[in-house]
Amino acid sequence: MKMLKLNLSTAALFAALLACGPAPARGVDIAQADRTGKLISIAAAHFGVLLQLGSDGRLYQVDSGRRLSPSSLYGQLSTDEVDDLLARPEAMVFTNGGKLDRETEYHPAFGDGFISEPAVQATHADGNNSTDLIFVTNQSTRLDSNITLTHIELKDRYYPFFVTLCVKAYHDQDVLEQWTEFRHDEDGTVTLFRFASSSSVIQSNQYWLTQLHGDWANEGNLEEDKLGMGMTILDSKIGVRAGRFRTPSFLLSIRNPAQEESGEVYGGTLEWSGSFQFAFDVNWQGQLRVLCGINPFASQYPLARGQVFKTPAMLWTWSEAGKGRVSRNFHRWARLYGVRDAGQPRPIVLNNWEATGFNFTESRIVSLFDGARELGADLFLLDDGWFANKYPRNNDGAGLGDWQVNTNKLPRGLSFLAGEAKQRGIRFGIWLEPEMVNPRSELYERHPEWAMAEPHRQPEVSRNQLDLDLTRPEAREFAWKVIENTLGSNPGISYVKWDANRYVTQPGSTYLKPDEQSRLLIDYNFALYDIMARMASNYPSVTAMLCSGGAGRADYGALKYFHTFWPSDNTDPLHRVFIQWGFSQFFPACALSDHVTKMGSRPFKFTLDVALSGTLGLDMDVAKMTAAERKATTAAINLYKQSLRDIVCQGDLYRLDSPYEGPRSAISYVTPDRARAALFVYQIQDAADQPVKLRGLDPAAKYLLREVNLPDGAVSRLPADGKTFDGAVLMGDGLAPNCQKQFESAVVELTRQ
Ligand code: DGJ
């Protein structure tokens, strides 16, 4: 095999990176000389990162983004030569001696001369605050035809302190999933102060960051800002839920603000339901480092000898075709790997929360079953208020923690209700909030020490409740028993809505020792996942909705144990158009529960059409619906089950007209084989009718158009209804939806002929 010599002129991309080499390595205990220049490529179909070992033993990031190809990276080298390089990196000789810019170090640590925001910061057992990581080894294993797992081991130059960088590359979905594992063999405890899951360097001249922010009943707002020099932080510090004010996901556009279907855009989302931090650091050379992971704020982690600390994984994707493809990559990944049973049809749930709140009786609930059945719902979900006797759960001020059925409201228990539902041919589900306690409860009377609190401070309640300290084994077991007792003794319950209605403000534990307190917020979430995982594996046929006072846990950390999440308590369809648009950037429709309600008093067709574009459900008192509303809902549910559900839940999303940019919102879903599609148009302000240009269709195919979900007896006003068009025409010229007035809407099915 020939030796390839890369010099500055043939490796144009390297040239920018070869300045300012570090000081020669001190006391290297692992021979590096013969490996200088070694390349490690981690790549999905079109997206990857290329790493390189420097002469100082450190690992550097050469590039990220477009999967490195001969033309992009190596200029004049042939494909064979490049393959040879990647396979035999020792054959590569760098004319600069392998010195690389410290600012491009892949996973830098504090204390070894690196002066920007580090990915790792630790105090070693002997009190040394510095860490100096060098490359030890790497290994890639093909897990199956789609996934390759790469481990890269780094070690401190002196201490037996190891950092393993782990990356799963999902080839077909263009997703990299990255996490970090820490362990040591030092004589004592090492304290981790910073422990990023991923630390990527991106090189461009401008960066535009989109975040998803909000508050209770106002979730999922998109905001894009240009990154300036220095550090921008998106984070949450609220411990037991990733968000209330911000979701742990972002888009990062290179050079220009993000476009829907063009331009280079990265997407990132963290698999973690606790405090998170994304730090975007633009340095004096214009390079951007993005550090993602658990928020190190108030969370330094004491690591015992031999213990492994595994960070949550960060998901990255990238596209050269705008944020639309970023979303489709995440959705495809999520449907295969990120959301529980995503291939299975979601049941249509009728929830009683907005109909009854806490105020119901057994007969009232049973009477709602008949309505649910009549409309065609698959399942009745009994929300908050069904439990507690000494301190009955008649409002949010009492009873949380006392998970015995309230015998006044439900004298014959949950099994009776489940049986009544079954007799009417529907399933039965239940609301739980197993991690929380009201001070006015028997649980709190017995075990005040199970709640998180700080000594010498008045417990600070939120929604009149406190968080149980899940690091305490008895409290953790209690939370598990809430699930097991409810589901195990009532096999007729086949759905759970898991809620969590407060965040943490006093992260103190009476179980953890004084020097362990700072691990509470992290270990809480590991304990939480343990319980969620047990629920998913012990009750595989129970469908589960994730709720945290709305979208507080809209994250892929928890979603692997759940079928859907509840995006907001705001179900006004006008607001939902925006909320669903926001979450669709990162999450597929099969994961978003979208319920028809009366909130906002919008025209009923508009309300139905908005909910039909996600995982359809209802939150209504059927007895209070008009005959026309009942008829329309029954027809919509039937339509959803017959044809829309699998297009919406399994199809590729194309966002066509943004409600942020104009008077209407339009989206479509296209099945992977492009044989069927569904178009949803929502007019949010009065405006003249304009054609909607579809995307993702087969340009050469012919599609029959049919407007669906029309009010009873109405005739479509769409000129294109019932006609056949070429895919190319629908994408080039578009179709007029005939929506002009605020709250007009249209749903159109397209079928390839
Ligand atoms: C907050 C949820 O978001 C609501 O849907 C409802 O379940 C209430 N909690 C019940 O307390």
Q: Could you read off the pLDDT of 346-384 as tens digits, one per residue?
A: 999 999 998 899 999 999 999 999 999 999 999 999 999
Three-state SS sequence of 626-645: CHHHHHHHHHHHHHHHHHHH
- The count of C-alpha atoms lying within 13 angstroms of the C-alpha of 636, restricted to the half-sphere facing its C-beta, is 29
DSSP 105: B
38: confidence class by pLDDT, cuts 50, 70, 90: confident
Mean of the pLDDT values across residues 567-592?
A: 98
Q: Is 569 in the pocket of ligand 1 (CB under 6 A)?
A: yes
Task: Kindly report the average pLDDT of the chain as a whole number.
Answer: 92
Q: How far is the CA of 599 from the centre of ligand 1 (A)?
A: 15
- The count of C-alpha atoms lying within 13 angstroms of the C-alpha of 668, restricted to the half-sphere facing its C-beta, is 24
What pLDDT is stored for residue 86 in this prediction? 55
Mean of the pLDDT values across residues 386-399?
A: 98
Integer-rounded Cα Rg, in Å, for the chain is 28
Q: How far is the CA of 434 from the centre of ligand 1 (A)?
A: 13
- pLDDT digit string (tens) for 485-509? 999 999 999 999 999 999 999 999 9
- Beta-carbon contacts of 366 under 8 Å, excluding residues fewer than 6 positions away, are 417, 420
Bridge partners (DSSP) listed for residue 42: 49
Q: Is 439 in the pocket of ligand 1 (CB under 6 A)?
A: no
Q: Is the pLDDT of residue 251 over 90?
A: yes
Q: What's the sign of the alpha-carbon dihedral 487, 490, 495, 498?
A: negative
What pLDDT is stored for residue 98 in this prediction? 54
Residue nearest to atom 10 of ligand 1 (CA): 384
Torsion of CA 436, 438, 444, 448, to 10 degrees: 70
| Distance, CA of 124 to CA of 102 (rounded, Å) | 23
Q: How far is the CA of 604 from the centre of ligand 1 (A)?
A: 23
Q: Is the pLDDT of residue 724 over 60?
A: yes
Q: Which of 54-63, 314-323, 414-423, 516-525 has the lowest mean pLDDT?
A: 54-63
Q: Identify whether the C-beta of residue 330 lies closer than 8 Å to the C-beta of residue 587.
A: yes
- pLDDT digit string (tens) for 447-465? 999 999 999 999 999 999 9
The residue written with tokens 């007729």 in the block is 492
Q: Is 550 in the pocket of ligand 1 (CB under 6 A)?
A: yes
Percent of the chain with pLDDT over 90: 88
Q: Is the pLDDT of residue 262 over 80?
A: yes
Q: Is 170 in the pocket of ligand 1 (CB under 6 A)?
A: no
Q: Is 545 in the pocket of ligand 1 (CB under 6 A)?
A: no
| Distance, CA of 38 to CA of 685 (rounded, Å) | 58
Q: Identify whether the C-beta of residue 118 lies closer than 8 Å to the C-beta of residue 140.
A: no
Residues taking part in catalysis: 499, 569
Q: How far is the CA of 743 from the centre of ligand 1 (A)?
A: 27
| Distance, CA of 297 to CA of 578 (rounded, Å) | 31
Q: How far is the CA of 435 from the centre of ligand 1 (A)?
A: 14
Mean of the pLDDT values across residues 732-737?
A: 97
| Distance, CA of 522 to CA of 537 (rounded, Å) | 23
Give the neighbor-by-neighbor strand order of the sheet with 59-66. Answer: 39-43, 47-53, 59-66
Q: How far is the CA of 433 from the centre of ligand 1 (A)?
A: 10
Pocket test for ligand 1, best of 351, 498, 501, 620 (most atoms within 8 A of CB): 501
What pLDDT is stored for residue 290 in this prediction? 98
- pLDDT digit string (tens) for 703-716? 999 999 999 999 99
What pLDDT is stored for residue 243 in this prediction? 87
Residue nearest to atom 11 of ligand 1 (CA): 384
Using the atom order of ligand 1, give the atom closest to the CA of residue 383.
7
What pLDDT is stored for residue 422 in this prediction? 97
Q: What's the sign of the alpha-carbon dihedral 496, 384, 411, 361?
A: negative
Residue nearest to atom 9 of ligand 1 (CA): 549
What pLDDT is stored for residue 62 in this prediction? 83
Q: Is the pLDDT of residue 8 over 70?
A: no
Pocket test for ligand 1, best of 353, 432, 498 (most atoms within 8 A of CB): 353
